[in-house]
Amino acid sequence: MIIQDSFKINTNKNFEIIDITSQINNLIAIENGIISIFSKHSTSAIVVNENEKGLLNDLEFMLDNLVLDKFSYQHNRIDNNARSHLKSFLLSSSESLPIKNRKLDLGTWQSVFFIELDGPRHNRTVTLTMVGE
Ligand code: ZN
Q: Tell me the residue range of the domain where 49 lies.
A: 2-132
- The strand ranges marked E within 1-133 are 2-9, 16-19, 33-39, 44-49, 94-100, 103-104, 111-116, 124-132
Go through the chain and tell me how many residues it has. Answer: 133
Q: What is the pLDDT of residue 94?
A: 98
- Over residues 70-86, the pLDDT tens digits come to 999 999 999 999 999 99
- Over residues 10-55, the pLDDT tens digits come to 999 999 999 999 999 999 999 999 999 999 999 999 999 999 999 9
Give me the residues near ligand 1 (ion), CB cutoff below 5 Å.
Answer: 79, 81
Based on the structure, what is the number of domains in the chain?
1
Q: CATH number, domain at 105?
A: 2.60.120.460
CA of 84 to the centre of ligand 1 (A): 8
d(CA 86, CA 78): 14
CA of 125 to the centre of ligand 1 (A): 17
